[in-house]
Amino acid sequence: MIWAPGVVLKVLSKNKDKITALVKWDKEVIAEGEADESDEELKKKMWNPSKPKVGAWRQDLRYLRKDISN
């Protein structure tokens, strides 16, 4: 299993246990004929496990990384 990259376009609803969001998927990970956007249920207890598993999700924070090598 791999992490499938996508971008949350809009939060549709949320409560203490989950967030429902409209996700736009990276075109490299969708099969021909599949929709590139979908409503996804993101359970808060499934956020950022050490390994991908069914229903798990994480936020990509690489854009916050600073280059300190210079």
Task: Assess if residue 16 is contained within a domain.
Answer: yes
DSSP 8-state code for residue 47:
B
Quote the pLDDT of residue 63.
Answer: 64
Q: Is residue 61 part of a domain?
A: no
With 0.85 as the threshold, say if the pTM is over it: no
Domain limits for position 21:
6-50
> Can you give the pLDDT at residue 53?
76
Please give the chain's pLDDT, 70 residues, in tens: 567 788 889 999 999 999 999 999 988 888 889 999 999 888 888 877 777 778 777 776 666 666 655 4
What's the number of domains the chain is made of?
Answer: 1
Q: Report d(CA 4, CA 25) in Å as an integer.
A: 8
What 3-state class would DSSP assign to 45?
A: helix
Sheet strands side by side (includes 18-25) = 6-14, 18-25, 37-43
Contact call for residues 23 and 40 (beta carbons, < 8 A): yes
For residue 68, being part of any structural domain is answered with no
In a domain, 11, yes or no: yes
Query: Which H/E stretch holds residue 42?
Result: strand 37-43
